[in-house]
Structure 1
Amino acid sequence: MSKFDPIRPFYDAEANAAIKQIIDEPMLEAMMNFTFPNDTENHWKKQMLHTHSLRDFQINFIYPALQKVLEKSSDGLFTGGFEVLKPNTAYLFISNHRDIILDTSLLNSCLYEKGLVMTTSAIGDNLIRQPFLHILSKLNRNFAIRRGLSGRALFESSKLVSEFIHKSLLKENRSVWTAQKEGRTKDGNDSTHKGVLKMLTLAEESANPFDFFEKINLVPVSISYEYDPTDALKMPELIAKARDEKYVKSENEDFLNLLRGIMGTKKRIHIQVNGTLNHEIREINRSEANLGEKLSQLAEVIDSKIWSGYKLWPSNYIAYDLLNDCSTFSNFYTEEEKNSFTKRLNDKVDAKNEFLVKNFLAMYANPVVNQNQLKIPEK
């Protein structure tokens, strides 16, 4: 028994037995029929039952499934910045978070194609309570973050996750992906929560917990969807927040978000790797600031990198102009693109509900606002 058993992915030695547990699951069959429409059930099952490692499962089944999702629901995946990453090197990728499954899956797809170390990735345990999804996530090298904890239980859980991340990066040379804050960004205003960074330092054994960041390669990542497939599904939570009410999810809400994120229309997608923060981290660590101040400074640096690397699509510029009743960015989109986005807006929310319209537009406009704060050339 290992203390990491409650949260870790499967070991390679466990992969085949795990596959046998789900091989006859209707959800797996649907996934494989979608991925390999011209293949027979007998053939893909035979292949899967001869799989004995997580890497083989990811490459032979998850990767083709993702390519089919991109083919069916997007206008292509575009990338930038991956050339700065080195083979056989572990990185801690911290990214903005828009989609439950796709954000980390798309990053791993790019890492695989470019011959780089794929990640073990954080996922909230609220998303994998269904037995099939739990097993599938562990086969896809996810580690679980326990949700809904407080007090001592939250601290102990956070410390365990921190130790697992340290082990992955420093002892196993395995890259790690985590979002910049708990949960997905609902309003398009991507920001790094200091609590996530503090969690990462909990397993550091030196007197200065911030030293952890000097031992690793921290890489901020920007993920940009031209259309957010779950945009309308994020509205109820924003309404509750505006009313200062506690938002309670419906029973199948996470699963619905997961499916809509996978199959919903995205148009173009861009992933930007924004370099390592080795220099910035050294500068912050040399200062006389306390840990809290250092973490705040690091969060600001990560934010600026993610904002600057965010690919602004016509949808972002259109939303900004509509929200502010202006034509400031009209050179960045066509009338046809504006009409298409406006139709999506009207299809997704009630045009008479000013609050919903405003928040839907802000979701797309906030990346423009954030990038303009940096006073960098428009993309």
Structure 2
Amino acid sequence: MNQFDAIRSYYDNEVNDALKTIADHPMMNSLMQFTFPESKECFWLEEFKKINTVHDFQHQFISKTIRQILKESCEDFTTSGFEKLDKNTSYLYISNHRDIVLDTCLLNLALMDSGCIMTSSAIGDNLVKKDFLQKIAKLNRNFLVRRGLPVRSQLESSTLLSQYICKLLKEDNRSVWIAQKEGRTKDGDDRTNPGVLKMLALNADKEPLYSFFKKLKIVPVSISYELDPTDVLKMPQLIAQSKNEKYIKADNEDFTSILQGVLGQKKRIHLHAGEVLDHELDLLPASQNKNQQLQSIAKIIDHSILKNYKLWPSQFIAKDLLEGKISSSSKYTEEEKNFFLSRLESRIDKSDTALKNNFLLMYAKPLLNMTASPKPNY
């Protein structure tokens, strides 16, 4: 048994057999009917027989599913920065995380359209407990991050994960995507958890951190949705946190969020690929200990993500409503404001001040962070 078998995605020689086991699954049928609304079932069942690699599956099916999702739920999808990437180089993409499924799928679509190396992408094993979902994930080159482990097991799992990511980047020339922290950002406050970097550094041995992370070729990615179709679903957890209460997820909550995130209206979406982290890492003070260096690298990533985050009218409107001002009114029209207010009133009880403020802050936070986050200075 290969040491990575418990977490890795499928090898190409496993793809066809795996696809056969789920080809007639009801969820696959629904997915394909959505992707190819004009085609009969026999069409994709026959096409599945010809799929023998992850590349084939992603290009012939997953990419078309994502384009159909964009057609149905998005007014415009734009990208920037990808033209600066070397098409034959693997990168470690670290991004803010807003949608369970779409963040990594949209990144891969942008990479595909740019002719760049697509990613293997991290996904929490708690999201793919059902056999069908796990197989789809592994067919789409996802690898598993094990959640909810005891401390000792967590260290072993993190070490294995670090080794696997480094193998993909350095030996397989495969790009990798990971979120800047565990789980989606539910309050709009995008911050890189140094623990993610600490996990990666488990494979650094005695190599200086600045040197190790330069070799990973980190590209911070900024993902910006004009509207978050799961915004109201995030409110109960935010309210619980504001009251210092423990939040317990409802049954199928993650699956509900996946469906709403995929199918709900998002208006416009923008992805920006930042500059590869390089000379910034040379500036890390030698006097910093390991934890301080990890915190400094996290701040460098944060600065790039915030600097390149596409601001929409929704951010400016939410900020003005939150502050009771019109200082940003030049950034939106009255029609856009009325649309946002109508959306707000249809999704939450506006008489609940705490709920309303949390909702507005979720949208305003990227703008507030952008104005309050200076460039790291070492």
Instruction: Compute the TM-score of the two structures, normalised by the length of structure 1.
Output: 0.97
Shift of 1:214: 2.2
Alignment map for 1:1-379 (pairs within 5 Å): 1-284=1-284, 287-374=286-373
Letter in 1 for 2:127: L
Letter in 2 for 1:47: E
Q: Deviations along 1:294-347, whole A, 9 cap, x unmatched?
A: 111111111111011110000000000000000111000000000000111111
Cα contact 2:35–2:65 (8 A) shared by 1: yes
Cα contact 1:308–1:374 (8 A) shared by 2: no
Question: How far apart, CA to CA, are the structure 1 residues paired with 2:30 and 2:229?
Answer: 21
Which 10-residue stretch deviates more, 199-208 or 216-225? 199-208
Question: How far apart, CA to CA, are the structure 2 residues paired with 1:6 and 1:316?
Answer: 41
Letter in 1 for 2:22: I
Letter in 2 for 1:11: Y
Question: How far apart, CA to CA, are the structure 2 residues paired with 1:210 and 1:6?
Answer: 30
Shift of 1:49: 1.6
Shift of 1:370: 0.8
Shift of 1:375: 6.4
Letter in 2 for 1:129: K
Which runs of 5 or more residues in structure 2 are unaligned?
Answer: none
Cα contact 2:186–2:234 (8 A) shared by 1: yes
Question: How far apart, CA to CA, are the structure 1 residues paired with 2:44 and 2:8?
Answer: 27
Shift of 1:208: 3.4
Cα contact 1:91–1:219 (8 A) shared by 2: yes
Q: Deviations along 1:201-254, whole A, 9 cap, x unmatched?
A: 111233435532021210100000000011000001101111212211111000
Q: Deviations along 1:76-102, whole A, 9 cap, x unmatched?
A: 111111111011100000000000000
Question: How far apart, CA to CA, are the structure 1 residues paired with 2:152 and 2:206?
Answer: 22
Which runs of 5 or more residues in structure 1 are unaligned?
Answer: none
Letter in 1 for 2:347: K
Question: How far apart, CA to CA, are the structure 1 residues paired with 2:34 and 2:151?
Answer: 44
Q: Deviations along 1:187-210, whole A, 9 cap, x unmatched?
A: 001000010010011112334355
Letter in 1 for 2:124: G
Runs of 4 or more, structure 1, over 4 Å off, are none
Shift of 1:283: 2.1
| Percent of aligned positions that are identical | 50
Q: Deviations along 1:264-305, whole A, 9 cap, x unmatched?
A: 010000001111111111222x62211111111111111111
Question: How far apart, CA to CA, are the structure 1 residues paired with 2:49 and 2:281?
Answer: 45
Question: How far apart, CA to CA, are the structure 2 residues paired with 1:309 and 1:182?
Answer: 21
Q: SS in structure 1 opposite 2:144?
A: strand
| Alignment length (residue pairs) | 375
Shift of 1:34: 0.6
Say what the alpha-carbon RMSD is for the aligned residues: 1.1
Question: How far apart, CA to CA, are the structure 2 residues paired with 1:55 and 1:229?
Answer: 30
Q: SS in structure 1 opposite 2:183?
A: coil
Shift of 1:374: 4.0
Question: How far apart, CA to CA, are the structure 1 residues paired with 2:214 and 2:108?
Answer: 24
Q: SS in structure 1 opposite 2:283?
A: helix
Question: How far apart, CA to CA, are the structure 2 residues paired with 1:140 and 1:3?
Answer: 20
Which 10-residue stretch deviates more, 148-157 or 10-19? 148-157
Question: How far apart, CA to CA, are the structure 2 residues paired with 1:278 and 1:189?
Answer: 25
Instruction: Compute the TM-score of the two structures, normalised by the length of structure 2.
Output: 0.97
Shift of 1:139: 0.1
Q: SS in structure 2 opposite 1:195?
A: helix
